[in-house]
Chain A
Amino acid sequence: MEECAIADKAFDLIIIGGGPAGLTAGIYAARARLSVLLIEKGLCGGQIAATEKIENYPGFTEPLGGGELTSHMEAQAKEFGLNIKTFAQVESVSERDGSFLVKTGDETFSALTLIVATGATPARLGVPGESEFTGRGVSYCATCDGAFFRDKDVIVVGGGNAAVEEALFLTRFAKKVSIIHRRDEFRADKILVERAAKDERIEFLLGYELASIEGDGKVERVRIKSNKDEGEKIIPAEGVFMYVGTHPNSSFLTNIIKLDERGYIITQEDLGTSRRGIFAAGDVRRNGAKQVVIAAGEGALAAISAQRYLSELAEE
C-alpha cells in the first residue's frame, strides 16, 4: 500500500537529474562526504549532451563535444564516490517525518534534503503539422537527424544560441538552411550570428512566425507569416528543426514546491525553494540562463546550501 511505503534506502541528499547542474552538485556533495544518490531518468548528460560542441565553457581553448563534457563530469563525480542511478524516472516527492521520500517506478528512496536539477525539454510550438510530422521532417535534435537532410532545404525555427548553432551545424548536410525568427534581432551570441551571416547557405527570415508545416506524408513546405503586415510566404523545405525554447521538467513537483505559471521552480538566493530542505539548480529554475557554466555553478551552490541545511538540522 502506498501509505505504508518504506524507504528502501536513506541518504543525506538526493539529487534528481544528471545534467551539468546535478552532476556538479554531486561532485560537491560527494567531496563533502555526504551520503548522496543522484537519480537520472535516462543516461547522464542532460540537454547539452545533444549539442555538437561547446565553445564557451571556460578553461577549454578547443571546443568540446557536449556529451564529452558531461561524461567527464560524471566520471569526476563517480571518482569522489557519487552513487548514480540511471534509467529511473522520479514520479513523486513527498515529505514525511522530516525526510523526503522520492518515488521512482519501482523503488522509494529517502533523504534529509533534495536538489532538483531535472532541467528542461525542448518546447513544441503547437503549430498545425508539428505533431503530425514529428519524425517525418520535424525534428528537435539537429545532431541526431541532420544527416537525413543531405542536399535538402531545411528550416530552423528560433532565435537563441541553440537555433543559430544548430543552423550552422546543419550546413554540413543541407543545401540551404533558413532561420525563421519572430523578432527582428537574434537573442543568440553575436559571434554565432556573425558566423551565420557570413555563411552563404544560411538565410535569415526575421520578423516571421511559423504558421504551419505542410506536406503529403512528410514535410514538403512551411507557411510563414510576417509580424509586420500579416503577409504570408511559402518556403519549400523537407526538414524543420525546432529551437523555440524549453519546457521545465517539473510536473512531478506540483504538490510539494511552488512553481511559477510556466512550471519553473521559484528559488531564493541560496537556491532554496518554497519548501525548506528542497533546493533547485539549472534550467528547471525560474530565470535560469540556460548555459552549461551557470547550471554547473548553480549545482555547486545548491550543494553548498544543502550541506548548510544539513548542519542546521543537526543543530536543531
Chain B
Amino acid sequence: MAQGSVVYLNKENFEAEVIKASGPVLVDFWAAWCGPCRTIAPILEELASEYSSRLKVCKLNVDENQETAASYEIMSIPTLILFKDGAVEKRLVGAMPKKSLVEALSDWLR
C-alpha cells in the first residue's frame, strides 16, 4: 500500500487488508448518497497521511459491498470501526470534527 493513503476495500481484499493486518486499521463504511460521509472523507485522508506510521485508514463502500457491511451490522453511515488484530476495538457513528475523531482514536494514534 502507498504510505499514508486511504485503501479501498472490497469483499476480496477485506480479509488481507483488515483482518490479517498488523497494527490498528480504521475502516470507514460509507456510501455516495450520504452527506455526512462526504464531510468526513477529507478528514480521513488527513488522518491517513498524518498518522501513516501508526494507523492504516481504509474505506468500504456499503452499496457495493453489502454482505461485508451487513456482517458488521452497519445500520448508519458513516460508521467507523477500528480493528486491531482482526478484532473490533472501537465503533464510531456519524460525522465528527477532526479533533473529536483524533481524541476518540487517541489510544491507537500514540
Contact = CB atoms under 8 A, between A and B. Distances in A.
Interface string A114-145: 00000000000000000000111111110111
A217 B79 CA distance: 16
A193 to B, nearest CB: 26
A148 interface: yes
Nearest to A152: B75
A26 interface: no
B35 A239 contact: no
Given A134-B93, A144-B34, A144-B35, A105 B99 contact: yes
Given A42-B97, A134-B93, A87 B43 contact: yes
Interface residues of B, number: 25
Contacts of A42: 39-40, 95, 97
A136 B79 CA distance: 10
Contacts of A217: 73
B77 A145 contact: yes
B50 to A, nearest CB: 13
Interface string A130-166: 0000111111110111011100000000000000000
B90 to A, nearest CB: 12
A43 interface: yes
Contacts of A218: 73, 75
B39 to A, nearest CB: 4
A144 B75 contact: no
B23 interface: no
A282 to B, nearest CB: 18
A146 to B, nearest CB: 9
A67 B37 CA distance: 13
Contacts of A149: 75
Interface string B21-47: 000000000010111111110110000
Interface of B: 31, 33-40, 42-43, 63, 73-77, 79, 91, 93-95, 97-99
Interface of A: 41-43, 45, 49-50, 67, 87, 89, 105, 134-141, 143-145, 147-149, 217-218, 239
Given A141-B76, A144-B37, A144-B77, 14 more contacts: A42-B39, A42-B40, A43-B39, A45-B35, A50-B36, A105-B99, A134-B76, A134-B94, A135-B94, A136-B73, A139-B75, A141-B34, A147-B31, A148-B75
